[in-house]
């Protein structure tokens, strides 16, 4: 499981720190698929990189982050020793780039297995590598092939097998289906879902793609300006949105020939360090009223989900 408590993440620059994520309370249960969804620049990858221990050295933090029972961020201290690349792994947008072109898939899998499970006999290392290939639905023949001898889809599968070699508990997949055709997109998502179930993994899946989110998610977390604005069980959130931001995102989806990608809604998300006062969405919200400009709404339970919006807060009082 992954839990953050009032987590802040920013990037240091010449004039100070631009805080991207502020006071994030995220709770991802063990063994579910959680989709982080939101427009470009909302902080999805920043959250994903924090969970996978891949923030750059000039990142600054506050609050706490717990990954699989280990406190990895505590105030301004980060400690991912024994966690990064082992307990939690990241699958990037182009997972195939993780493959070494000069080594066969079998050599790469075996090296990873030996690193994480020293003491295994060579026979067991090979068996484990073949098992991983079978888990990602690749044949034994792939063991002796070089990456350039595989199709794009096979390379992705091999890279996913490599990511699984340390037997992680948490996988962060950052846009793993973007830039793929519809067939491959669903093939990759199906594979990740199958592995998540079989291995009882916690999968944090970052995507712009609502159709994939609807397909794969157990939990939806909508992020705006580094904050959770709506959170709940999928696919209901993505069918009947509560927060005005999610409502506009879904309305902006192209209706015909839709690839179900999030289209732009009027205006731009604010840049880190320039977040507005009050509700961070207020300059773009069609329902804005005075309180929205002054005070930031708390996130509250509204029916089957959590929503950060004064409209819901005020309704909850009546």
Ligand X SMILES: Nc1ncnc2c1ncn2[C@@H]1O[C@H](COP(=O)(O)OP(=O)(O)OP(=O)(O)O)[C@@H](O)[C@H]1O
Return residues touching Mg ion (CB under 5 A): 45
Cβ closest to Mg ion, residue 138 vs residue 180: 180
Binding site for ligand SF4 (CB under 6 A): 244, 279, 281-282, 285, 287-288, 292, 297, 309-311
The CA distances from residue 266 to 86, 262, 317, in Å, are 41, 12, 31
- Choose among Mg ion, ligand SF4, ligand X, none what residue 166 binds, the Cβ cut-off being 5 to 8 Å by kind: none
**Beta partners for 206?**
36, 174
DSSP per position, 53-87: T---TTEEEEEEEEETTEEEEETTEE--TTTBTTT
Cβ closest to ligand SF4, residue 86 vs residue 282: 282
CB of 248 to ligand SF4, least distance (A): 10
- Choose among ligand SF4, Mg ion, ligand X, none what residue 270 binds, the Cβ cut-off being 5 to 8 Å by kind: none
Based on the shown chain and the rule CB under 6 A, indicate whether residue 41 belongs to the binding site for ligand X. Answer: yes
Question: Looking at 271, 295, 303, 314, which residue binds ligand X (CB under 6 A)?
Answer: 271
- Choose among ligand X, Mg ion, ligand SF4, none what residue 11 binds, the Cβ cut-off being 5 to 8 Å by kind: ligand X
CA dist., res. 237 & res. 210, Å (int): 11
Cβ closest to ligand SF4, residue 55 vs residue 279: 279
Q: Sign of the CA dihedral 64, 242, 170, 96?
A: negative
Cβ closest to ligand X, residue 251 vs residue 271: 271
CA dist., res. 177 & res. 282, Å (int): 31
Q: Interacting stretch for ligand X, rule CB under 6 A, among 40-48, 110-118, 239-247, 281-289?
A: 40-48
The CA distances from residue 167 to 53, 67, 187, 199, 243, in Å, are 17, 15, 22, 9, 37
Question: Looking at 2, 17, 26, 42, which residue binds ligand X (CB under 6 A)?
Answer: 42
Tally of CB atoms within 10 A around 170: 21
CB of 245 to ligand SF4, least distance (A): 6
Cβ closest to Mg ion, residue 95 vs residue 106: 95
The 3-state DSSP class for residue 221 equals strand
CB of 282 to ligand X, least distance (A): 19
Cβ closest to ligand X, residue 63 vs residue 147: 63
Q: Considering only CA atoms, give the Rg of the chain.
A: 21
CA dist., res. 292 & res. 285, Å (int): 10
Based on the shown chain and the rule CB under 6 A, indicate whether residue 45 belongs to the binding site for ligand X. Answer: yes
Tokens of 46: 């920043």
Tally of CB atoms within 10 A around 316: 11
CB of 217 to ligand X, least distance (A): 17
Q: Interacting stretch for ligand X, rule CB under 6 A, among 38-46, 70-78, 116-124, 192-200?
A: 38-46
Between residue 198 and residue 217, which ones bind ligand X under the rule CB under 6 A? Answer: none
CB of 63 to ligand X, least distance (A): 17
CA dist., res. 189 & res. 35, Å (int): 12
Based on the shown chain and the rule CB under 6 A, indicate whether residue 119 belongs to the binding site for ligand X. Answer: no
Between residue 6 and residue 25, which ones bind ligand X under the rule CB under 6 A? Answer: 11, 20
User: Torsion over CA of 260, 262, 264 and 268, rounded to 10 degrees?
Assistant: 180
CA dist., res. 39 & res. 245, Å (int): 10
Please give the size of the binding site for ligand X, defined by CB under 6 A. 13
The site for ligand X (CB under 6 A) is made up of: 11, 20, 38, 40-46, 56, 271-272
């Amino acid at each position: 499981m992954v839990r953050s408590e009032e987590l802040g993440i920013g990037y240091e620059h010449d004039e100070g720190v631009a805080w991207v994520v502020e006071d994030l309370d995220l709770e991802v249960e063990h063994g579910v698929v959680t989709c982080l969804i939101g427009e470009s620049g909302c902080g999805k990858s920043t959250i994903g990189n924090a969970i996978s221990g891949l923030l750059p050295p000039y990142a600054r933090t506050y609050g706490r982050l717990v990954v699989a029972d280990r406190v990895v961020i505590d105030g301004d201290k980060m400690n991912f020793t024994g966690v990064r690349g082992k307990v939690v792994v990241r699958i990037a947008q182009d997972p195939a780039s993780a493959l070494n072109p000069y080594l066969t898939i079998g050599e790469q899998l075996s090296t990873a297995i030996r690193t994480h499970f020293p003491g295994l006999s060579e026979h067991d290392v090979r068996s484990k590598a073949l098992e991983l290939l079978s888990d990602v639905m690749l044949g034994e023949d792939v063991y002796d092939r070089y990456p350039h001898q595989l199709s794009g889809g096979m390379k992705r599968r091999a890279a996913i097998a490599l990511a699984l070699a340390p037997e992680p508990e948490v996988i962060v997949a950052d846009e793993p289906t973007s830039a793929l055709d519809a067939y491959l997109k669903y093939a990759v998502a199906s594979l990740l879902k199958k592995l998540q179930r079989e291995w009882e993994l916690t999968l944090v899946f970052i995507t712009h793609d609502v159709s994939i989110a609807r397909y794969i998610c157990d939990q939806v977390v909508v992020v705006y300006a580094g904050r959770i604005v709506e959170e709940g069980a999928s696919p209901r959130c993505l069918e009947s949105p509560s927060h005005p931001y999610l409502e506009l995102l879904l309305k902006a989806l192209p209706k015909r020939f839709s690839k179900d990608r999030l289209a732009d809604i009027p205006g731009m998300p604010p840049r880190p360090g320039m977040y507005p006062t009050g509700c961070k969405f207020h300059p773009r919200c069609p329902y804005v009223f005075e309180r929205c400009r002054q005070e930031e709404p708390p996130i509250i339970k509204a029916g089957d989900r959590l929503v950060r919006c004064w409209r819901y807060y005020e309704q909850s009082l009546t």
